[in-house]
Amino acid sequence: MAFFIASSPHAHSRRSTPDLMKWVAICALPGLIAQTYFFGWGTLIQLVLAIAVAVTLEAGVMLLRKRSPLSALRDNSALVTAWLLAVAIPPLSPWWIIVIGLLFAIVIAKHLYGGIGQNPFNPAMVAYVVLLISFPVQMTSWIAPDQLVADSMSFNNAFSLIFSGFNTEGLSLQQIRVGIDGVTMATPLDAFKTALHAGNTTSEALAQPQFSGIAGIGWEWVNLAYLVGGLALIKLRVVQWHIPAAFLGGLVITSGLFMLLTPGETASPIIHLLSGATMLGAFFIATDPVSASTTIKGRLIYGAFIGALVFIIRSWGGFPDGVAFAVLLANMCVPLIDYYTKPRTYGH
């Protein structure tokens, strides 16, 4: 019987990498449905475009490396990378945003290091950070949930905005975001941070139209949907509970501590939990088996570190959400975390 040596990810449930990646995509469906419901057809259009671009790039790079493109495409890793990036960017971003992002994710962050199992950083988060730094206007142009606008975005309008920059009536995305009522379309985290920096109290910040719910219209349900999918991943043993639990625990403890020390100056734990990319990051991004810590203690430290960094970046950083930056910073620390948390060798 042959003994095969392979790079991570390694699973103990006798499942192949394609099977694991397939279940990640399936369990992300509730979050995708929630995003499409609240933010329109743009998310689905971006997802289809992202998958097409990712498959093309994956096959092209494998041909350049003189390897079989079919073997790379069968592992479904390109599909998951495309999926994560598509749901992370604003739904009506220009088509070239997803193309540039996946060029960095597939070609540089993944294959430049040797392909799946060799990349030290999460490819989707590398792409997201590059896009956010390079194109801040396009990457922060989120539209308001359908509940805050008079007319929901039709499929034709969304398709036209993504590929031409204007809807069927000739309006640009910026004109649509402002709207006839002048309500800003900033995300809840961005609106909350801007209000606090302007000298408003927490209660005044929460009085904005985006916060008629618990943590922002639409976003709370999107996060709850990803929570359901994440719990399904744990139940199916696709991922282990250590990183998500430590991530959410670190975020809750840090935000709760600062809420007690500086009341009225920081968001509450419930806002942090149900806003932005919290649940997507905790269950679908931070748990990447290649770039995350490999020991049990290391996973707990790794997850808690990400949770604390998310709060710090959200509260005092230059960007409203900090999941991508926190994950990449934690990826840098993985070798050190693993070194000091590796199990002792038997007999030593």
Q: Using one digit for the tens of pLDDT, what is the confidence trace for 4-25?
A: 555 555 555 566 788 888 999 9
Cβ neighbors of 134 (< 8 A, separation 6 or more) are 100
Closest CA to 57 of 69, 48, 46: 69
Express as a percent the part of the chain with pLDDT over 70.
89
- What own/partner pairs with CB < 8 Å and gap ≥ 24 does 164-173 have? 165/94, 173/92, 173/141, 173/143
DSSP string, 226-287: HHHHHHHHHHTTSS-SHHHHHHHHHHHHHHHHHHHHSTTTS--HHHHHTSTTHHHIIIIITT
pTM: 0.88
Per-residue confidence band for 107, with pLDDT thresholds at 50, 70 and 90? very high
pLDDT at 109 > cutoff 50 = yes
Condensed to tens digits (0 to 9), the pLDDT of residues 155-205 reads 898 899 999 888 888 877 777 766 544 444 567 777 777 777 777 777 777
Cα 346 to Cα 246, 343: the distances in Å are 28, 9
Closest CA to 118 of 55, 65, 70, 82: 65
pLDDT digits (tens, 9 = 90+) for 215-261: 777 888 999 999 999 999 999 999 999 999 999 999 999 999 998 88
Residue 103 gets which letter from DSSP? I
* Amino acid identity for residue 295 in this structure: T
